[in-house]
């Protein structure tokens, strides 16, 4: 007799302002299964996708429903930090692993011993950038971040590290998360005349930011734009136009990353109906890779504690490069790349020009 099917409950914003995240991750998860099959260690794997619309109460309700009524063995997805926070108590109560594929606030993995992550953390991406800025003739910076947990993480990480390196923060501005009007904020930045603006906005919001950066004449005023790679998200980068050229970001995944694993990933993503995968898609693909490898290791035992033990210390070659799961924090350890937006054969890409290797979440390292 074949063993029971292992159901993976994928909860994502498929509608609402962050639907691009849901589309990228669900396409990548389906692409992973199309490439690797739906059987692991003699066990059938089934993916169940549900739309939470980006509303935390919905995420929690769906997670509860999935584990109680549908017998889901692994919860996955979580497109935004508040959605991951909302589901965390369900993972703890049900002892069901929760694989965070998108949300990137440092503290998420501390909300339940059943949480692991295949995206990144904002401090992980930001600290290397603050060092790069200080080393590259940038001495005065205004920070602009989305006003919620990952934005605050990014602001804190940038401000602390940049000051440690002798830099000056002229002003720190926080903007609303969804549909922000950047114009008045960017006018203030222009008046403050910094060397650079550091920006974090969640995936999808970058286009609106870049348009206002252009319209307010910041580039013409000689103000550089630097940020985490969320602002030059591969999903929307190619439509940003010339204003994006030369923008320097740090992040864990670029569609332009050169490796056999990334070629396989990009082809599978296309075959599954996607266009260009972004860092969210990479988190979705790797989340599935982690679940598959954990099931392999337990011989198909999908009980929560067994899977969590298998996940700790797991290492693999991702489309982004080598990654592992820190056994102490259950958070992802990965290379952070320095990238510049360039025209590659008529399309805009984040072209990598350097990296910091095996970066752990610095926010947790500071606490431990
Ligand atoms: C988050 O809400 O944690 C989040 C969302 C989108 C990003 C990064 C972080 O691009």
Rounded Cα–Cα distance for residues 109 and 365 (Å): 13
Q: Which atom of ligand 1 is nearest to the CA of 21?
A: 6
CB of 145 within 8 A of CB of 151? yes
Mutate to test the pocket of ligand 1, among 201, 202, 284 (most ligand atoms within 8 A of CB): 202
104 close to ligand 1 (CB < 6 Angstrom): yes
Compute, in angstroms, the gap from residue 70 CA to the centroid of ligand 1.
28
Among 21, 230, 350, residue to substitute to test ligand 1 (most atoms within 8 Å of Cβ): 230
pTM (2 d.p.): 0.98
Instruction: Compute, in angstroms, the gap from residue 300 CA to the centroid of ligand 1.
Output: 32
**List of E strands, the chain:** 6-12, 39-40, 43-51, 74-77, 98-100, 115-117, 140-146, 168-175, 196-200, 224-228, 248-251, 315-318, 321-325, 332-344, 347-359
Alpha-carbon gap, residue 216 to 185, rounded angstroms = 10
pLDDT per residue rounded down to tens, the chain (368 residues): 445 899 999 999 999 999 999 999 999 999 999 999 999 999 999 999 999 999 999 999 999 999 999 999 999 999 999 999 999 999 999 999 999 999 999 999 999 999 999 999 999 999 999 999 999 999 999 999 999 999 999 999 999 999 999 999 999 999 999 778 999 999 999 999 999 999 999 999 999 999 999 999 999 999 999 999 999 999 999 999 999 999 999 999 999 999 999 999 999 999 999 999 999 999 999 999 999 999 999 999 999 999 999 999 999 999 999 999 999 999 999 999 999 999 999 999 999 999 999 999 999 876 75
């Amino acid at each position: 007799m074949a063993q029971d099917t292992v159901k993976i409950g994928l909860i994502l914003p498929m509608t609402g302002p962050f639907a691009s995240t849901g589309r990228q991750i669900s396409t990548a998860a389906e692409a992973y299964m199309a490439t690797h099959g739906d059987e692991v260690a003699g066990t059938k794997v089934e993916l169940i996708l549900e739309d939470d619309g980006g509303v935390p109460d919905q995420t929690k309700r769906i997670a509860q429903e999935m584990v109680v009524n549908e017998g889901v063995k692994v919860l996955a997805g979580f497109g935004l930090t508040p959605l991951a926070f909302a589901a965390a108590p369900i993972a703890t109560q049900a002892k069901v692993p929760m694989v965070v594929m998108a949300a990137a606030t440092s503290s998420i993995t501390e909300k339940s011993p059943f949480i692991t992550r295949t995206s990144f953390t904002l401090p992980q991406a930001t600290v290397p950038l603050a060092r790069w800025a200080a080393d590259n003739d940038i001495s005065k910076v205004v920070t602009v971040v989305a006003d919620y947990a990952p934005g605050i993480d990014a602001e804190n990480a940038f401000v602390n590290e940049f000051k440690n390196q002798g830099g000056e923060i002229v002003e720190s501005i926080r903007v609303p998360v969804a549909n922000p009007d950047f114009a008045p904020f960017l006018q203030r930045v222009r008046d403050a005349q910094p060397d650079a603006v550091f920006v974090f906005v969640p995936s999808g919001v970058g286009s609106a930011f870049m348009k206002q950066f252009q319209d307010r004449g910041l580039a013409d005023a000689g103000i550089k734009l630097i940020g985490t790679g969320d602002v030059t998200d591969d999903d929307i980068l190619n439509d940003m136009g010339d204003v994006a050229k030369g923008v320097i970001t740090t992040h864990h995944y670029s569609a332009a990353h050169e490796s056999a694993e990334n070629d396989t990933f990009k082809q599978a993503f296309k075959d599954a109906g996607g266009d260009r995968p972004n860092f969210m898609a990479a988190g979705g693909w790797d989340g599935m890779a982690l679940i598959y490898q954990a099931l392999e290791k337990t011989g198909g035992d999908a009980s929560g504690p067994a899977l969590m033990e298998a996940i700790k210390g797991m290492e693999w070659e991702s489309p982004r490069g080598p990654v592992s799961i820190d056994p102490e924090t259950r958070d992802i350890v990965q290379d952070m790349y320095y990238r510049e937006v360039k025209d590659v054969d008529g399309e805009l890409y984040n072209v990598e020009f350097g990296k910091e290797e095996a970066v752990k979440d610095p926010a947790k390292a500071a606490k431990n």
